[in-house]
Amino acid sequence: MIIWFRGYKLAVTDEFLEYRDGRYRVSKIPLADCSEMKREWVEVDVKGTIMHRLEIRVIAKDRETGFTRTAFIINGEAFGKKDLQMIKDALENAKRDIERARELARGVRHGNDKEV
């Protein structure tokens, strides 16, 4: 799934969540490391005027330590609410597929904790 708006791009591929900001800078994170996307309204001072801006924080989780960090921040105003929901759904589906593949690789049957 790919969504574009001018210089902005947000994509979920088979392996990565990728974001390109309005200045064409690209940030990406492996889907396996992406733990969640958080919506936040932040205050921004624009020439002495306080404005509110929607940011989407992409939270990464270290597989070894379990610690979380903000991988990158998406400008939420560049995309529509439905577009962001589609990306979030695609991300959740991709993460579910990754977990199923890991279970199969470990030899665990789906829905059963006993090893084969």
What are the residue boundaries of the structural domains of the chain, listed by start?
2-105
CA dist 40 to 17, 50, 77, 102, Å?
19, 16, 11, 32
- In the sheet where 8-12 sits, what is the strand order? 2-5, 8-12, 16-20, 26-30
Residue 50 confidence (pLDDT) above 90: yes
In this prediction, residue 94 carries a pLDDT of 83
Architecture of domain 2-105: Roll (2.30)
* pLDDT, position 116: 45
The model's pTM is 0.72
pLDDT, tens digit, for every residue of 61-102?
Answer: 888 888 999 999 999 888 888 888 888 888 888 888 888 887
Residue 115, both tokens? 């090893």
Q: What is the pLDDT of residue 113?
A: 54
Q: Which of 26, 20, 27 is nearest to 6 (CA)?
A: 20
